Amino acid sequence: MSASIVAARAFLIVTALLGGTGPLAAQDYPVKPVRILVGFAPGGGIDISARALAPGLSAALGQQVIVDNRPGAGSNIAAELAAKAAPDGYTLLLATIAIAINPSLYGKVAYDAARDFAPIGQTGTMSNILVVHPVLPVKTVKEFVALAKRQPGKLSYASPGAGSSAHLAGELFNKVAGIDIAAIPYKGGGQAVIDVLGGHVPVFFGAVPVVMSHVKDGRFKALAVTTVKRAAAMPDVPTIAESGYPGYEVNNWYGLLAPSSTPRAIIDRLARETTAIIVSREFVKRLGDLGHEAVSSTPDQFGAYIKSEISRWAKVVRETGVKVQ
């Protein structure tokens, strides 16, 4: 049994014993539908995870949980809406690694990632992956880097959007590998995949769930995943770190946030119900089948993790020189 599952179950026991003790008792909530804002278009990896979580949360809360897609500006639109929403537990945000990256990437955003949100807990993670069109004569990261160095400035890669974790994964790879492949950002992973499949762009950095079916049928060649360990959905694909670049890691995590000042009793209720779903065998399998990994944490753990990621990505953005206007 993993450490995160053990910690999650301990959290469930403690919050069950303490539930309903806040100024607004958790058992009084909710009395109307709850919406989860998603800062990306329908059909992408984050949207898929939100829609996997929503039915179980609806059943647990006794109210409909609605996924509300508000794509744009690297998910800043959804984050700003959530930050300014009433702190009553009826507007949540499925935040991603973007909320830690964007303050440095954009220079100025209309929210404070550490101050304007109340963490509920991490819900999962998914690997980004480096894939190439079969026309490229490479099978490994080493061969790909060699090709890029023989053709400096001639290769390009598609990403799901400017400032996305996949975009940053590509720029970080450029830096550590000493190569120059130009980023071509799309408005979502779906369109990017279409153009790479069509041979218009030879390389793609994107989420495992978006490409794994195309890898299995041979329409993409998978070179490596960006996480520190191999993706459970594609265990035969090595990591970039083990392919010759130790220390390289882009972990595309995500989890639930509420507006700051949301009563702690509501935060604990949402955390308890969400954790119960995440650690269930059915949810773990469902998310795994979709190319994700279920991950749980307490509100305090998730808050600390977000702060550490803000610091980490400020350094990466500074070193790579990436900016989005």
d(C-alpha 135, C-alpha 133), whole Å: 5
* pLDDT for the residue 18: 46
* pLDDT for the residue 20: 42
For 188-199, the pLDDT digits (tens) are: 788 899 999 999
Residue found by looking up tokens 């773990």 in the block: 284
* pLDDT for the residue 22: 44
* pLDDT for the residue 24: 45
* pLDDT for the residue 4: 52
d(C-alpha 122, C-alpha 288), whole Å: 16
Q: Write the CB contacts of 299 (distance below 8 Å, at least 6 apart in sequence).
A: 118, 119, 120, 121, 267, 268, 271
Paired tokens of 233: 């959905």
d(C-alpha 203, C-alpha 220), whole Å: 9
Residue 238 CA, chain-centre distance (Å), reads 20
Q: Write the CB contacts of 103 (distance below 8 Å, at least 6 apart in sequence).
A: 109, 112, 113, 310, 314
* C-alpha separations of 248 from 129, 173, 175, 184, 292 in Å: 13, 8, 10, 22, 20
| Residues across the chain | 325
d(C-alpha 159, C-alpha 161), whole Å: 5
* pLDDT for the residue 21: 44
Low-confidence ranges of the chain (pLDDT < 70): 1-27, 325
Neighbours of 149 (CB within 10 A): 12
* pLDDT for the residue 202: 96
Domains of the chain: 3-125+252-320 (3.40.190.150), 127-243 (3.40.190.10)
d(C-alpha 314, C-alpha 36), whole Å: 27
Containing H/E element for 40? none
Cis-peptide into 23, omega within 30 deg: no
Paired tokens of 121: 């807990």
d(C-alpha 297, C-alpha 65), whole Å: 21
> For the chain, first and last CA: distance in Å?
45
* pLDDT for the residue 124: 95
Residues facing residue 254 across a β-bridge = 96, 124
For residue 51, which amino acid is it?
A: R
What is the helix, strand, coil percentage profile of the chain, to 5? 45, 20, 35
Residue found by looking up tokens 């480096």 in the block: 130
- DSSP code for 63: S
